[in-house]
Structure 1
């Protein structure tokens, strides 16, 4: 408490000294005092706002899906037993969250000195992928922070850092007085932060020892080695796979089944990460390096005192799939609840077509405008045969942008070629997909794979390149589409521009 309150106390002392000095100057010479106040008052206001940040209420809304004891008695029973071993009271509530992490939080009063309610947050990816013993080690570590009163003092430390950062950020570096105070606070604060970091690391080590004492060193080490693989694979899943059909209005019906398949496909990479966890050195990191934590836990040779049910942590939950899905949705924007839920093969097809048809709507619309015919694939091929490639890929003119007067004919042609090729490829693949000549397959860890039926034995990209060449040749594409029975005089369905997912990491 002394360390974390040092900087705010220093700010208060400086502010008081400046006010006293200005008052004293007023008793000596009012004119001089007014001149001094011109520099002192802005500095006092900056320090005062920083201290107000320290005392103001911090809004920490409780998020996640509540895990009620009558619905999940086995999980609650394990948490209560682990809290007893950690020499603390159990949390007042448990929430399942979409982060690959676990945490505890306390609602407090009087700057964190009085506790009112305790919360335990459990990451859905952890309970989905860890064993029961590994999961129990993570829970014990978090609960041990309650027994050390870390969560209560963490509130004071957070408020102190918040006031410190806010004050430094709002100081006027052009003012000589504030520049000097900025220099002093920055260096004093750095010393204090380093000292508080050492305390935080000791708290983490104590929580690690509690986890090892509860479930054993082996399970605790295994849990800590699993944290980075889960975090890395979960982020890759969120970035590349979960939202593959988002813009089209779709989400997977069973997201965690896909996440499990992604992890299986990344077996070697995750194994390497498991064997060599990230070990970045940061003097202000509140956690010791992972290698040090693992070595210290392993040296304890603890056997554990809590009997944890064998098997995966998911076995602690009754009907886990809806609960995990609810936690995932809770971590997304509200719009996620409006998305249609489909199985993974369907999502792969939707996402793949969405990525390929970004330019298709524009190109088909240009073809229809240029030929006064319906916006169909046949219309597009006829326009290419007529030598209208540049016009098909035309973009709105601008003073110096794409399609503007500053562009020469060759530049406009090459730009149009790229656009038309992408739009044509999307239209052809969509048509062949509807005909059953193209199949979309899950292909973890990528977002999916497109497979042209082997009966056609053609290189589809080469046929598209021939159609958009300087001497367009659409015969190959027409033969392929005729073979699939899909070239008709009917207009194609409405085309939409969809977001293209990033390549899988």
Structure 2
């Protein structure tokens, strides 16, 4: 009872900490909005001020530049403050269609002391996670979802898969969902705000001038937020490992962590090395890529490479932004726990499978924009993959043959034939042909390494195998560590054709024997190989345009257009309103000296006693309408101004009369 109350208090304290950090972030965004509004009001007020000489262009530009930044940050807060909808690239699993998976989850949930999740959704990632769509900023419990990656379901043994599920359900039993929800929302909100500022700066040069300050502020707060939440989240992962070890055994949990890390690398290699090349070259993809991936993981030739990946998994350090501790730390903590599962273990190694329809539906998310007409059954796709990997040498071989024939002045046929290769071997040009072929095949794709004759014999073996496959008497099988393996016609050992090709290349005078073997199999050595045209090698290769600019997808293009429209709208709107306010402002009369006020009807008379100065009536009374005239200098009377101020008569000598 005491332990339960203490766990509840710790969970509440963590939730309060995350809530405080999240509130500070929201307050920071609100402060930026208020500052922007203050600049907007200041600009409009200064435009309508009577003493304004021109509209405030600098304030207008600043408001227009900050508008996309403020809008992006507000949208990031709104989007992350509410429970997120399930990702579109996931598939919901029903209890009726996947009873075995749901039964295992229910059993494991009871073992770790929590209720089963409300939903299970499959993903295309090598990962498993749990979420709780809690309300009131994560303080109140909500709908709980378990996300399970199909690559894990296809590649992990049943016992290790149960250990992974027990780890994720352990987060529920230790009440990690509340703090995790708040921390995830805060991290996602900060990341979305930073992305919004960066996108706005990249889309508009005006925004880029003012984006440095907000972006620097967001990055600083993001670093502080992660520094405060990362230790708590990593401690939660250690606690979930402890729950899984209590249910499934510490050794099984450690094996599951190593296997998951190795599967992550293997899944990346499967996509980059097998799925993508065949899709680009053949335009075909498997309907169930996860079963094809399981076939790769279970291949005998990959046991040693996969074991090496598992052994090196602990050497990889953890990312500083990853809430999971590094694998070495987790394994060391598990090594201290007893390897005795509670109750003797849960669910003895029974496979957990889901209907193939889920995998087919989820597989479509891996090929955005690709229709179902270009998919094919995954077993047939494996044969296409084997043929593609085996026949990659044929195009370089056709180019090498054409180069050597041109240098020797030999006229070639319209396509690549076995006869062309045998003719060059008989004429003593095996080394020029081998060097020409080696220069067109990278070392990483060379099945024979740096041995030029070995590469040439491999290419001849592939050429013969392709002719046999074209006749329908042989086929290729998948070899995940090299090119496809040829299954020869009935009656021949698997390596017979390879030995024939290697003997013909390395030993002079053996080409005639090879020709007899091929004739016995019904292969016409002068027939061009379908799909590898020699004329294609003669045509000049069109150089593709190369660009270092990254491609922009359609959502990013729409986002950039929206940012530009928003900045331009605010700029034009503020410019129009400011100009109207400036044009309608009330001008204050400028103060003028009294001597600048004149009467246009008065006459100028410098004689004393006359009308006096303009604007003055006789007797000193002012009259008429005062008008401002130029020049602005004082008006003076020369006669009066030049009269001396002292008596001149006393200085003039007088004539004395007798």
Q: 1:306 to 1:224 in 2, by over 3 A?
A: farther
Query: Corresponding residue for 2:181?
Result: 152
Is 1:90 aligned to residue 129 of structure 2? Answer: no
Aligned in 2, Cα 1:305/1:173: closer, same or farther, shift over 3 Å?
Answer: farther
Please list the CA deviations of residues 82-131 of structure 1 after superposition, one character each: whole Å capped at 9, or x if unmatched.
33454544222223334322123455677767776433222233234434
| Alignment equivalent of 1:52, drawn from 49, 55, 75 | 75
1:12 aligns with 2:30: yes
**1:445 has 2:481 as partner:** yes
Please, which moves more after superposition, 444-453 or 473-482? 473-482
Residues 164-313 of structure 1 mapped to structure 2, 5 A cutoff: 164-171=194-201, 178-241=211-274, 246=279, 247-248=281-282, 249=284, 251=286, 255=292, 258-262=295-299, 265-267=302-304, 270-271=307-308, 273-274=310-311, 277-301=314-338, 303-305=340-342, 308-312=345-349
What is the CA distance between 1:75 and its match in structure 2? 2.6
Pair 1:430 & 2:452 matched: no
Give the 3-state SS of the residue equivalent to 1:104 in structure 2: strand
The answer on whether the counterparts of 1:375 and 1:491 sit within 8 Å (CA) in structure 2 is: yes
Q: 1:298 to 1:27 in 2, by over 3 A?
A: same
SS at match of 2:121: strand
CA change 1:448–1:325 in 2 (3 A) is farther
* Alignment match, 2:98: 72
329, 341, 351: which one aligns with 2:363: 329
Check conservation: 1:64, 1:97, Cα contact below 8 A: yes
Q: Distance in 1 between matches of 2:308 and 2:418?
A: 51
Q: Contact between 1:7 and 1:185, CA under 8 Å: does it hold in 2?
A: no
Give the distance between the partners of 1:180 and 1:490, measured in 2 at CA.
Answer: 70
Two-structure CA RMSD over aligned residues (Å)? 5.0
Q: Following TM superposition, by how much is the alpha carbon of 1:68 offset from its aligned partner in structure 2, in angstroms?
A: 2.7
Q: Residue 162 of structure 1 corresponds to which residue in structure 2? A: 192
Greater CA radius of gyration, 1 or 2? 2
CA distance in 2, matches of 1:379, 1:134: 55
Shift of 1:173: 9.1
Which has the higher mean CA deviation after the structures are superposed, 9-18 or 26-35?
26-35
Equivalence for 1:377: 417
SS in 2 for 1:122: strand
Structure 1 pair 89–325 and aligned structure 2 pair: CA distance change class (3 A)? same
Question: What TM-score results when the alignment is normalised by the length of structure 1?
Answer: 0.70
After the TM superposition, which of the residue ranges 212-221 and 281-290 deviates more from structure 2? 212-221
CA distance in 2, matches of 1:28, 1:349: 74
Q: 1:302 to 1:183 in 2, by over 3 A?
A: same
Aligned to 2:625: none
Any conservation in 2 of the 1:138–1:211 contact (CA below 8 Å)?
Answer: yes
Which consecutive residues of structure 1, in runs of 5 or more, have no partner in the other structure? Answer: 390-412, 467-472, 498-505
Alignment CA distance shift 1:16-1:348 (3 Å)? closer
Judging changes above 3 Å, is the alpha-carbon distance between structure 1 residues 86 and 43 closer, same or farther for their aligned structure 2 residues?
A: farther
What is the distance in 2 between the residues matched to 1:233 and 1:182? Answer: 37
CA distance change for structure 1 residues 184 and 362 in 2, over 3 Å: closer, same or farther? same
Counterpart CA distance in 2 for 1:213 and 1:72 is: 26
C-alpha contact 1:277 1:291 (8 A) present in aligned 2: yes
Report the equivalent of 1:394: none
User: Which one is further off, 341-350 or 73-82?
Assistant: 341-350
For structure 2, which runs of at least 5 residues remain unmatched after alignment?
1-18, 430-434, 442-455, 487-493, 535-658
Give the CA deviation at 1:280.
Answer: 1.0
